[in-house]
Amino acid sequence: MNVRSGLLAGLLALVSVSVHAEVYRSVDAQGNVTYSDEPTKNAKVVNVKPVTTITLPKPETVSEVLQSPPPRGDAPAAYKRVSFSAPNDQDAFHSGSGDVEFVVSSDPALRPGHKYEVQLDGQPVGQSTTGSVTVRNVYRGTHRADVHIVDRQGLRVMSGDSISFTVHRPTVNN
């Protein structure tokens, strides 16, 4: 094995090692909380939960759907509405854990293969066929939520009106 092959093998081995970064939380004498990827005196390791992700449809799937013929006359009627039942627009409430349950409904009810999709501050946070989506650890403050009905390919069939709500959570100073 020559030097070039050895170097390439070493580089590939280094790249294949999974990267695992620790997150550390520390509190100074004034009560200020800081997070870092480098340990400091009295810092504690924070277990970071995985981020919720939603897989979007492939571009070729979207173009196939856009090029498909319109539905025939015997196709089911379109949705008349999709909306939030809870929380209400302009609600303000306390949530110590930051959990927020969104309850949504549509008229008519969901068709087979369709789902409700909830977005929080412009980011998808969950899908459901039951009409209930719970989002964990929502930060304090005012947020905007949107609801959509999506089909099997993840394409929006209908969108509802946005709502705004405010979450109150305890702080380390309270």
Segment 94-99 long-range contacts (CB within 8 Å, at least 24 positions apart): 94/167, 94/168, 94/169, 95/138, 95/167, 95/168, 95/169, 96/169, 96/170, 97/136, 97/137, 98/136, 98/137, 98/138, 98/139, 98/140, 98/167, 98/169, 99/134, 99/135, 99/136, 99/137, 99/138
Residue 116 — very low, low, confident or very high, per pLDDT cuts 50/70/90?
A: very high
Give yes or no for residue 14 having a pLDDT over 80.
no
Sketch the domain layout of the chain as residue ranges: 19-48, 60-67+79-168
- Helix, strand, coil distribution of the chain in percent, nearest 5: 15, 40, 50
Q: Which residues of 53-67 are buried (b: 16+ CB within 10 A; e: fewer)?
A: eeeeeeeeeeeeeee
Name the residue with higher pLDDT: 56 or 73: 56
Of 52, 30, 166, which is closest to residue 98 (Cα–Cα)? 166
Confidence of residue 46 (pLDDT cuts 50, 70, 90): confident
83 compared with 21, residue with greater pLDDT = 83
Q: Which of 100, 172, 84 is nearest to 142 (CA)?
A: 100
Q: How far apart are CA 143 and CA 15, in angstroms?
A: 40
Confidence band (pLDDT; 50, 70, 90) for 62? low
CA 93 to chain centre: 21
Burial of 16 (0-12, 13-18, 19+ CB in 10 A): exposed
Whole-prediction pTM value? 0.56
Please tell me the CATH superfamily of domain 60-67+79-168, with its number.
Answer: Immunoglobulins (2.60.40.10)
